[in-house]
């Protein structure tokens, strides 16, 4: 499964999944793609023994960001990045918005048009959340985030955010939460259950872009600081499966945290405690995911016409039970939703504009596409 990016004038980027065998060899620093065994990513470029944070890749694959910690430096905590200019990858540097002070933990918004990160003037200062926005000339100057977006967060394609925050009666008073995120604000915040927020130290959560599983680091079954990465399946209806340790699956014996998934959905990244980033093929999870998710991944959709007028016509390879649709504006606000009872959606009540159509089954995202009305 490959992902293409469609760019729309002032409306940013949308990731659409299409079946193709085409290879874009320049992506991921031009490295040979890994198999199911984890290997070092970007040796001596990204991975230099100083990485301490999640590696994130822009939706179009042309920018890679991560955090390094080096206490021999005047400003020991820094965001680093590398960019692809259409011909080659540039040298590693600090992005323009992270040239001063301490910076860490960059997070892309679902459309790739915003990056949230933490900033502090110096080691004696408190960390504060800022963000930058994509412009025609690159990234804007940093902007204070008055909504105080959480650090160590990740998004689904439809705008759900998963993050760590304070929680009573768990180790280190750190717990894992989810919320809906729209137009710069969070709502419907809720904590994961006791199988995720355990008596141990549970940390650095990352939710799959389609919401089908959650990755996080945990010290279970002890309360020491030896972290391992676990996967919990989304069973639908707000329930999550028993977390399973993935280290044997990727043949990685060391401690690790800060998991993430590449924007094309093909690769797992994580940070080892040796300060290097590792990656493996996402197919390592095939045996860990329930068969219902495997079947969902086989559903193919067609939407016509596009641009649409009063009705959306759908064609799909197989029908799942209890399918639902959701139309959102480009800020993520839902404007129309309901059960998908047949192959036609009446949108005659909507104004002209651009909308994102999402189709779900049992709480899992099946399909997403930009529509023009």
Q: Where is average pLDDT lowest: 11-20, 220-229, 342-351?
A: 11-20
pLDDT tens string 155-176: 887 778 999 988 887 878 888 9
Q: What is the CATH number of the domain that holds 321?
A: 2.60.40.1930
State whether 320 and 203 are in the same domain: no
The Cα–Cα gap between 107 and 37 comes to: 26
- Cα Rg, the chain, nearest whole Å: 20
The Cα–Cα gap between 354 and 14 comes to: 12
pTM over cut 0.85? no
State whether 220 and 314 are in the same domain: no
The answer on pLDDT for 14 being more than 60 is no
- Exposure pattern of 263-293 as b/e (b: 16+ CB <10 Å)? bbbbbbbbbbeeebbbbbbbebbeebbbebb
pLDDT at site 156:
86
- What does the pLDDT average to over 333-338? 81
The answer on pLDDT for 21 being more than 70 is no
Look at residues 40, 102, 105 and name the one whose alpha carbon lies nearest to residue 70: 102
pLDDT bin (cut points 50, 70, 90) of residue 331 is low
pLDDT tens string 107-137: 998 888 899 999 999 988 999 999 999 998 8
The answer on pLDDT for 294 being more than 50 is no
| Domain count along the chain | 2
State whether 130 and 207 are in the same domain: yes
Give the pairing type, strands 277-281 and 267-272: antiparallel
State whether 258 and 158 are in the same domain: yes
Grouping H, G, I as helix, E, B as strand and the rest as coil, residue 222 is: coil
Instruction: Write out the residue range of the structural domain in which residue 367 sits.
Output: 294-372
């Amino acid at each position: 499964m490959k992902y293409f990016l469609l760019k729309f004038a002032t409306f940013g980027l949308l990731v659409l999944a299409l079946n193709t065998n085409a290879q874009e060899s320049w992506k991921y620093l031009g490295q040979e793609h890994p198999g199911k065994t984890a290997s070092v990513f970007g040796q001596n470029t990204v991975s230099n023994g100083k990485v301490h944070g999640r590696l994130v890749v822009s939706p179009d694959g042309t920018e890679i960001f991560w955090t390094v910690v080096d206490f021999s430096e005047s400003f020991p905590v820094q965001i680093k990045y590398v960019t692809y200019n259409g011909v080659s990858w540039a040298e590693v540097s600090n992005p323009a918005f992270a040239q001063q002070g301490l910076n860490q933990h960059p997070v892309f918004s679902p459309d790739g048009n915003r990056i949230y990160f933490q900033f502090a003037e110096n080691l004696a200062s408190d960390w504060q959340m800022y963000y930058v926005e994509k412009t025609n000339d690159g990234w804007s100057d940093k902007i204070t985030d008055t909504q105080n977006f959480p650090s160590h967060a990740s998004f689904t394609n439809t705008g759900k955010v998963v993050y760590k925050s304070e929680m009573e009666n768990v180790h280190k008073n750190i717990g894992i939460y989810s919320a809906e995120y729209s137009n710069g604000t969070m709502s419907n915040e809720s904590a994961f259950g006791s199988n995720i927020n355990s008596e141990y130290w549970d940390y650095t959560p990352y939710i799959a872009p389609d919401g089908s599983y959650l990755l996080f680091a945990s010290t279970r079954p002890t309360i020491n600081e030896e972290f391992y990465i676990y996967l919990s399946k989304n069973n639908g209806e707000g329930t999550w499966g028993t977390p399973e340790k993935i280290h044997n699956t990727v043949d990685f014996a060391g401690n690790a945290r800060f998991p993430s998934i590449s924007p094309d959905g093909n690769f797992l990244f994580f940070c080892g405690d040796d300060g290097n980033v590792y990656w493996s093929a996402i197919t390592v999870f095939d045996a860990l995911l329930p068969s219902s998710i495997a079947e969902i991944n086989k559903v193919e959709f067609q939407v016509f016409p596009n641009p649409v007028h009063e009705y959306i016509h759908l064609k799909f390879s197989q029908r799942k039970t209890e399918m639902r649709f959701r139309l959102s504006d480009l800020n993520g606000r839902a404007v129309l939703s309901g059960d998908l009872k047949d192959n036609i959606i009446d949108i005659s009540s909507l104004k002209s504009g651009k909308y994102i159509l999402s189709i779900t089954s049992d709480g899992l995202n099946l399909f997403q596409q930009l529509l023009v009305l």
